[in-house]
Amino acid sequence: MSIFINNNTKLLVQGITGRDGSFHTRQMLNYGTKVVAGVTPGKGGMEVEGVPVFNSAADAVKQTAANTSVLFVPARFASSAIYEAIDAGIKLIVCISEGLPTIELVKITAYLKNKDCRLVGPNSPGIVSSGEAKVGILPGHIFKEGKVGVISRSGTLTYEIVDHITKVGLGQSTCIGIGGDPIIGTKFIDCLELFAQDNDTEAVVIVGEIGGRDEQDTAEYVKKYFKKPVFGFIAGKTAPPDKRMGHAGAIISGTSGTAAEKVKVFKECGIKVGDTPAEVAQLMKNELA
Per-residue pLDDT tens for 183-193?
999 999 999 99
Q: Could you state, in order of their start, the residue ranges of all structural domains in the chain?
A: 10-120, 139-288
Equal fold, 10-120 vs 139-288: yes
* CATH H-level superfamily of 139-288: Succinyl-CoA synthetase domains (3.40.50.261)
Q: Which of 24, 141, 164, 247 is catalytic?
A: 247
The mean pLDDT of 43-54, rounded to a whole number, is: 98
Model pLDDT for residues 77-104, shown as the tens digit of each residue: 999 999 999 999 999 999 999 999 999 9
Catalytic annotation on 164? Answer: no
The gap between the terminal CA atoms of the chain, to the nearest Å, is 19
8 A C-beta contact, residue 282 and residue 168: yes
Instruction: Report pLDDT digits (tens) over 209-218.
Output: 998 899 999 9
pLDDT digits (tens, 9 = 90+) for 136-161: 999 999 999 999 999 999 988 999 99
Structurally, at CATH architecture level, domain 10-120 sits in 3-Layer(aba) Sandwich (3.40)
Q: How confident is the model at residue 252 (pLDDT cuts 50, 70, 90)?
A: very low
Would the pTM count as exceeding 0.85?
A: yes
Beta bridge partners of 203: 148
